[in-house]
Structure 1
Amino acid sequence: MTNTIRQYHDKDFDEVLALCQNTYKFDSLTKELLHEKIYEDPFFDPDIIWVAVEGTAIVGFLMGTIRMDIRGVNYGYVKLMAVEESHRRKGIAKSMYELLEKELRSQKVDVMRLGDVPMNYFMPGIDPRYTPALCFAMRMGFNRFMDTSNLVVNLLVREWIDEKKIMALKSDDIEVCRATIEDKDELMDFVAEEWKLWQFELKMAYKLNPVAIHVAKLNGKIKAFSAHSANNKGLPWFGPMGTHPDLRGKGMGKVLLYRCLEDLKNLGYKTAIIPWVGPIDFYSHHAGAVVERVFWRYEKKLAY
């Protein structure tokens, strides 16, 4: 039977969910989580999302998205992709990807990447256990350029609030507290200076009650922040977190991390995920975090 590729429609959601749940064997995609990945992407565009259909059954799915002008570069992404195992090696993924690349070339995208979509992502690259995805990336001309990791923290081993350190910071005129609605504009301005891409995640964390953001203020001015539950609904996701460069080393990051971990523990989670990690040693030292998963990152530079 011939496969037909067409653009995704809202009515396809439940069938796409079942397809993703069958193919993402090392992950758990709930209805709420997939809805967030598709519809809460800040640049959601149904014109660059496709399904492959055989008869009346959806056997393939590919979601593209765009992030323009990140430090002068226009990026296009394969955000999610799934092909029914029995229908692999029939060119379905290749055909959907070629439609995406053609469209994004017309929009002057410079670089294509797989999975690691700033602002709203599922996983920061390809888990190499998804070997068919690695093979697909190489066949489509992608090159591996970096690895990253997700860490996991056991939340049950201790209490996370460090009152002694909080008082020590207070003696240096640094107050640690949960962010309020009144802090929002100042926090967004602070983040814009060095971490503008994180503004979207912080806006998502502001939607929770209580607000899932903690801040450190020096003489009343925000100088550091940490957040949780800003991405991947239903998962114990930590981050983002940042401290003003002039004030690093004072211990604000540790205290803010701990406050978020305590929040996640109070929400009933047994573990916390620290994703897309750079400073592994920081989280290992202060929270006993260990590497849980490794992701390979791939990109393809588009020539014009």
Structure 2
Amino acid sequence: MSIEVAPLSHDHLDEAVALLEASTPFDLAARVAEEKLFGGAPAGPARAFGARRAGDLAGIVVTSGRWLRLFVVAPRHLGHGIGRALLDAAEADLRARGEARARTMDQPGNYLAPGIDERNAPTIEWFRRRGYAPVRRNTSLEIDLRDNPNVSAARARALAEAAAARGYQVRRASRADRAALRRTVAGAFSEGWAFEVDLALSTTPEGVHVAVAPDGTIAAFAAHDGNNRGLGWFGPAGTLPEHRGRGLGSALLVACLEDVRAAGHRTCVVSWIGPRAFYDRVAGVAGERHYVVLEKAL
């Protein structure tokens, strides 16, 4: 039975959502399908391809920059060459655009997960057999927002008041802060973070909180729902070096978590973490997920 691989458009979104709903047990891909299939990233636009077998949409791959942002084969179509056809198409697309390497999933600015969940051992092994090698491991945390004494409007206010006593104003960012946020985040951290913060700033209410220094500059920031919008994910967040150790990160984290809790989420994912001890101390960690990132020279 022949396999046909062709570009996907918004006209195929309903089909793609149904496939993702049935095929991604570790992630809520169907709920962010449009963002993952067609959303941009600092590395460039997305290109989505679908594989059909007997007319059915059997698998999806999305490339952007050098990344395989999304790679999914429907369980009932496994073992029929769908994955191989999608990977061939994706690698051909990357080569045609001048990319020298292919990398799985951890695309700055727009990613479903920061790698392949380590529980998905068959997929990791499948990529290894096709020349991909592990190059990085990432961790995400889960924070319980139900009856968590660390996450409340009262605690957010108390932490903001403590920051104010040190001369900092902790507040929700507005669209008027967009240019200053972009300069600060891109200049001190990364373009990928600036991209996510900009997206979070476009939510209602704005999904970004800032700490403003006495001189009026942005000393720290934290965001949620820039990537995987609607899932209540936290990040990115950062404090400029000269302002660290003053409780700003704690105040901003709790402000964001309170937003996520108020939106009805029972948990919050802190993806691609840096210092775990900070999250454990400030909010309490309920669980972890671990990911493997693989690369291949093209």
Fold equivalence (TM over 0.5) = yes
State how 1:38-77 maps to structure 2 within 5 Å.
38-42=37-41, 43-46=44-47, 49-66=48-65, 76-77=66-67
Q: Which residue of 1 aligns with 2:276?
A: 280
Would you say 1:203 and 2:204 are equivalent positions? no
State how 1:136-285 maps to structure 2 within 5 Å.
136-156=126-146, 157-158=148-149, 159-160=151-152, 161-194=155-188, 195-219=190-214, 220-285=216-281
Gaps in structure 1 of 5+ consecutive residues: 67-75
Cα distance in structure 1, aligned partners of 2:252 and 2:230: 21
Cα distance in structure 1, aligned partners of 2:212 and 2:158: 17
Mean CA deviation greater in 19-28 or 5-14: 5-14
Contact persistence 1:38–1:44 (CA under 8 A): no
The CA RMSD over aligned residues, in Å, is: 1.8
**Corresponding residue to 2:293 among 269, 274, 297:** 297
Amino acid at match of 2:222: S
Contact persistence 2:61–2:72 (CA under 8 A): yes
Q: Which residue of 1 aligns with 2:115?
A: 125
Instruction: Give per-residue Cα distances to partners, 1:93-122, cap 9 Å, x unaligned.
Output: 122212221231232213311111111110
Contact persistence 2:19–2:74 (CA under 8 A): yes
Instruction: Give per-residue Cα distances to partners, 1:161-194, cap 9 Å, x unaligned.
Output: 3444433322322111111222111111111212
Instruction: Give per-residue Cα distances to partners, 1:10-48, cap 9 Å, x unaligned.
Output: 332222221221111222333x510111222233344xx
Contact persistence 2:61–2:70 (CA under 8 A): yes
Amino acid at match of 2:247: G
Contact persistence 1:51–1:58 (CA under 8 A): yes
TM-score (norm 1): 0.89
Cα distance in structure 1, aligned partners of 2:28 and 2:183: 35
TM-score (norm 2): 0.91
With over 3 angstroms needed to count, the CA separation of the structure-2 counterparts of 1:169 and 1:25, relative to structure 1, is closer
Would you say 1:112 and 2:111 are equivalent positions? no
Q: Which residue of 1 aligns with 2:5?
A: 5
Gaps in structure 2 of 5+ consecutive residues: none
Cα distance in structure 2, aligned partners of 1:143 and 1:237: 28
Amino acid at match of 1:80: L
Identity rate, percent? 31
Contact persistence 2:136–2:294 (CA under 8 A): yes
Contact persistence 1:19–1:59 (CA under 8 A): yes
Contact persistence 1:212–1:229 (CA under 8 A): yes
Contact persistence 1:149–1:291 (CA under 8 A): no
Please state how far the C-alpha of 1:283 moved relative to its aligned partner.
0.6
With over 3 angstroms needed to count, the CA separation of the structure-2 counterparts of 1:162 and 1:2, relative to structure 1, is closer
